[in-house]
């Protein structure tokens, strides 16, 4: 059975963040995800989850100064201690919010940092985070991002993600597979997901072009939703798209796909 989670960073933005939980529940969602919880007390978010009977399925580790354009710091050699502190902060939130997996955005490679040094920094940071999260009973994910939306992002493909996982030697590091990002970078969505299903623990969706809701672009979601069930994917699918005409008005795509 397909399980859809509303991404509260992208959906219901007509409302303040804490009001989006109520709206997601009213719209029929049982799970939610978002980029970051750190601007709020964990207890505030936990209360919203409990009041609305929602499960928080994912959020990210701290990713530096988002407003200034940073998209993660795991590839920044001069900020390892900041990254490690962020891991501790994320675990503290995750325990209160009862979230079982966290995603690490590895970041844009800083100017002057070689590819070799960036990779070594990422591997070291991921090993640290995966070990700390494993001790806390939390799974760590990494997400390849397309280089059109975020030029210079270090991690841009599925094979690269799998290579990083292998390099860490960790049994607690997996892939967050974003259909939109990987359509732009790789295509071959169904075969890639099937071949790497054991390593993929979270899926996100949006259509392309535009990153709007399913049915607005080139991706065959009629096929993909059925395919994911057939191959036994039993995780959540995060709805991380930009509503084309308002969140609620745009949710009709779920019924169109029998969801």
pLDDT digits (tens, 9 = 90+) for 108-167: 999 999 999 999 999 999 999 999 999 999 999 999 999 999 999 999 999 999 999 999
Q: For residue 235, what is the DSSP state? A: S
End-to-end CA distance of the chain, in Å? 9
Place of tokens 């732009």: 184
Answer positive or negative: Cα dihedral of 103, 144, 253, 211.
positive
Q: How far apart are CA 21 and CA 35, in angstroms?
A: 14
Per-residue pLDDT, averaged over 37-41, amounts to 98
240 among known catalytic residues? yes
Containing domain of residue 63, as a range?
3-257
From 14, 67, 186, 240, active-site residue: 240
From 116, 143, 186, 229, active-site residue: 143
> pTM to 2 decimals?
0.97
82 among known catalytic residues? no
**Per-residue pLDDT tens digits for 199-210:** 999 999 999 999
Among 50, 57, 60, which residue's Cα sits nearest to residue 6?
Answer: 57
Q: How far apart are CA 13 and CA 227, in angstroms?
A: 31
Give the per-residue pLDDT at 235. 98
CATH code of residue 173: 3.20.20.150
Count of structural domains, the chain: 1
At 171, the pLDDT band (50, 70, 90 cuts) reads very high
**Per-residue pLDDT tens digits for 50-103:** 999 999 999 999 999 999 999 999 999 999 999 999 999 999 999 999 999 999
User: What is the chain's Cα-based Rg?
Assistant: 17
At 1, the pLDDT band (50, 70, 90 cuts) reads confident
**Percentage of the chain with pLDDT > 70?**
100
Q: How far apart are CA 186 and CA 217, in angstroms?
A: 16
């Amino acid at each position: 059975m397909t399980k859809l989670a509303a991404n509260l960073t992208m959906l219901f933005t007509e409302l303040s963040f804490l009001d989006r939980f109520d709206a997601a529940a009213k719209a029929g969602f049982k799970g939610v995800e978002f980029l970051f919880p750190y601007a709020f007390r964990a207890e505030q978010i936990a209360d919203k989850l409990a009041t609305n009977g929602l499960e928080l399925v994912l959020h990210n580790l701290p990713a530096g100064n988002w407003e200034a354009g940073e998209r993660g710091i795991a590839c920044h050699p001069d900020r390892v201690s900041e990254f490690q502190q962020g891991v501790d902060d994320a675990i503290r939130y995750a325990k209160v919010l009862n979230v079982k997996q966290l995603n690490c955005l590895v970041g844009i490679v800083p100017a002057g940092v070689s590819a070799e040094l960036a990779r070594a920094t990422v591997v070291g940071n991921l090993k640290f985070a995966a070990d700390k999260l494993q001790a806390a009973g939390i799974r760590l994910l990494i997400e390849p991002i397309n280089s059109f939306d975020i030029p210079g992002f270090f991690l841009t493909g599925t094979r690269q993600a799998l290579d990083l996982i292998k390099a860490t030697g960790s049994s607690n590091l997996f892939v967050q597979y974003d259909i939109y990002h990987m359509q732009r970078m790789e295509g071959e969505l169904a075969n890639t997901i099937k071949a790497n299903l054991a390593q993929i623990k979270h899926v996100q969706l949006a259509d392309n072009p535009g990153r709007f809701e399913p049915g607005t672009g080139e991706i065959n979601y009629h096929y993909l939703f059925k395919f994911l069930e057939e191959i036994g994917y039993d995780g959540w699918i995060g709805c991380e798209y930009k509503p084309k005409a308002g969140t609620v008005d745009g949710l009709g795509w779920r019924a169109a796909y029998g969801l």
